[in-house]
A and B are shown apart, each in its own frame.
Chain A
Amino acid sequence: MPESIAAIPFIILAAATLLGAAMVVLTRNVVHAAFWVLEVMMAVAGLFMLLSAGFLALVQVMVYAGAVTVLLIFTVMLTLRDREDAIRSRDLSWAAGGIALATLVAAGTAIVSFAPPIPKLPAVTPGVAEFGRLLFSGWALPFEIASVILLIALVGAVWWSGGER
């Protein structure tokens, strides 16, 4: 495992993330916002790679960038009556801003006071194989429950989309 993370990739990816997130909130076009979400997801995946979480980066791309964003675009399309409706007001609120700022301050203080001990990094980076091994041994129960959750979600989604009965 590398002792430290390379700075430059981090900075690029971080900037990409934050830019994308800002654009999601600031853009007036709903469809554009959806695409900016896609951008953010990809950037985060890159960050995962930087953190030696390969498998997670893959899952991020597949699930978020793939499924979630697609679904978002689908819904946007389905709820737009015509092209013009995609543009809407910016919908920004001072109250929300205040709350977000307060949260940021709180988080900031927490981060500042958080001083983790410097661990001894393992010689070999735990890879997908290790991930898989642990997934089906230590984390087996959550895995099974996760399956059930997905099942429920699937059934629920189907039912709700069922239209007129």
Chain B
Amino acid sequence: MTVGPSAFMALAALLFCIGLFGALSKKSAVMVLMCLELMTNGVNLNLVAISRFVTPESLAGQFTAAFIMVVAAAEIGLGLALVLALYRRTRTIELDRLDELKG
């Protein structure tokens, strides 16, 4: 069996969907952020795989993935700082309890 782009893309899709499942169901803010990271990794994997199989010279996918990592880092830093600030204020990170925007 040859491992072609389809295999990597399927893997990436699975990773992404597992992460999506977790991000939408988890009630803990930190858990959600973790699952978001899974999703991001899935995307990165997809990009690099396609880059490798479709445009090997330009490394475009790799660069995109690199910059996505930068953004993901920034995001996780800010996100966790946000969660801590929220915890300090409301003593909870249960998303169900955070419903002050309830209409």
A→B interface (CB under 8 Å): 1, 4-7, 10, 14, 17-18, 21-22, 24-25, 30, 33-34, 37, 40-41, 44, 47-48, 51-53, 55-56, 59-60, 63-64, 67-68, 71-72, 74-76, 78-79, 88-89, 91-93, 95-97, 99-101, 103-104, 107-108, 111-112, 114, 116-117, 119, 121-122, 126, 130-131, 134-135, 139, 142, 146, 149-150, 152-154, 156-157, 160-161, 163
Contact = CB atoms under 8 A, between A and B. Distances in A.
Nearest to B74: A153
Interface residues of B, number: 73
Contacts of A121: 56
A114 B15 CA distance: 19
Given A119-B53, A161-B84, A79 B25 contact: no
B30 A131 contact: no
Contacts of B30: 30, 72, 75-76, 79
Contacts of A55: 62, 66
Interface in B22-63: 22-28, 30-31, 33-35, 37-38, 41, 44-45, 48-59, 62-63
